[in-house]
Amino acid sequence: MSVPVPQPVLDHVVINVADQLDAVSALYRRLGFQLTERGHHSLGSSNHLAIFGENYLELLGYEQGNAQKRADLWQAPPGLSGLVWKTDDADSEFLHLQRQDLDGDAPASFHRPVDLPDGTVGEAQFRTVRLRPSLIPNGRSFFCQHLTPENVWQKEWQQHPNGVQNISEFVIVAQDPALAAQVYSHLFGAARILACPEGAFVLRAGAATVRFASADYAKRRFHSLPEDYDGSARMAALGFKTEDLAKVKAALLLGDVNFIEEEEAIVVEASSGFHLALRFHL
């Protein structure tokens, strides 16, 4: 049976906040993001989302008493810990993962109630399939099939004080960027991984670019790394496309968040972004 090779399109990113949902959701609102009301998954975790045009950001943690329900999630370092791909067919992706010797567990289904902007309650339903955990240091990478996308991409949730329209960049820092990119070369095909002159490897993923970079490169572009970075491959920074850098600056000033202003970008260092650096650009 022919199994298609998946197309790399970023669906969402996951920030592991563990038991700090209150503090980190407050921080991301100060960063200028509109967040959804807290959601609660059927598996026991809880979240807030910042919804953009094509992708979204998820703050994932747990409320008191739920730490053991998805204990494996909280083993990753705090900060950016999930690289999630779009799919219309989780079962097909699982077959592809098996053929490439990248598979972990079989596809799983879960859901969460959603308080919609019109006052009604809907349900967000998903099927996910994960790459083998041992292949992804310090985090997870998986495909997400949205069965009810209309309960996630609501127009009212896509308006952000900082003007962000999409996640544009996802950075994995490693001592050997080519080695860090290898699993995604097997996943999507070697031709998808491109070397760029600045010294990083890139994978185009819809509105976003996944970048595999050295620590020196990341420090030049983002001015910082997570303070506990130990040299192993680590999801470490995000880029955001905004409609207006003035909106970003105004939101950060109002939120009392430190930032670095460049000619064509505004950067928030990892120490102010909950263990990950953020770069806003036009």
Domain assignment present for 5: no
Q: What pLDDT does 60 receive?
A: 96
* Domain containing residue 271: CATH number: 3.10.180.10
Per-residue buried b or exposed e for 141-162, using 16+ beta carbons within 10 Å of the residue's own CB: bbbbbbeeeebbeeeebbebbb
Shared domain check, 174 and 36: no
Q: Report which of 45, 166, 142 is spatially closest to residue 84, judged by C-alpha positions.
A: 142
Q: pTM value?
A: 0.96
Q: Residue 153 — very low, low, confident or very high, per pLDDT cuts 50/70/90? A: very high
Task: Tell whether the model's pLDDT for residue 59 goes beyond 80.
Answer: yes
Shared domain check, 137 and 16: yes
Euclidean distance between CA atoms 81 and 60, whole angstroms: 10
pLDDT digits (tens, 9 = 90+) for 241-255: 999 999 999 999 999
**Structural domain of residue 61, as residue ranges?**
10-158
Shared domain check, 138 and 191: no
Question: Encoding tokens for residue 20?
Answer: 């700090």
Shared domain check, 74 and 214: no
Shared domain check, 129 and 207: no
pLDDT digits (tens, 9 = 90+) for 266-275: 999 999 999 9
Provide the percentage of residues in the chain whose pLDDT is more than 70: 99
More confident residue, 238 or 66: 238
Euclidean distance between CA atoms 181 and 135, whole angstroms: 11
Domain assignment present for 172: yes
Task: Tell whether the model's pLDDT for residue 66 goes beyond 90.
Answer: no
Q: Residue 64 — very low, low, confident or very high, per pLDDT cuts 50/70/90? A: confident
Question: Encoding tokens for residue 178?
Answer: 């080519």
Shared domain check, 154 and 173: no
Q: Residue 226 — very low, low, confident or very high, per pLDDT cuts 50/70/90? A: very high
Please give the distance of CA 181 from its chain centroid, rounded to a whole number: 17
Shared domain check, 86 and 40: yes
Domain boundary among 100, 129, 158: 158
Q: Report which of 69, 71, 76 is spatially closest to residue 41, judged by C-alpha positions.
A: 69
Shared domain check, 197 and 134: no
Euclidean distance between CA atoms 131 and 273, whole angstroms: 27
Task: Tell whether the model's pLDDT for residue 1 goes beyond 70.
Answer: no
Shared domain check, 221 and 139: no
Mean pLDDT computed over 132-161? 97
Shared domain check, 176 and 132: no
Q: Residue 2 — very low, low, confident or very high, per pLDDT cuts 50/70/90? A: confident
Q: Considering only 60-64, 95-99, 133-137, 188-192, which range has the smallest mean pLDDT?
A: 60-64
Contacts of 161 (CB under 8 A, 6+ apart): 32, 33, 34, 247, 250, 251
Terminal C-alpha separation, the chain: 44
Q: Residue 131 — very low, low, confident or very high, per pLDDT cuts 50/70/90? A: very high
Q: Are 96 and 153 in contact (CB under 8 A)?
A: no
Mean pLDDT computed over 103-110? 93
Shared domain check, 33 and 134: yes
Domain assignment present for 153: yes
Task: Tell whether the model's pLDDT for residue 68 goes beyond 90.
Answer: no
- Counted domains in the chain: 2
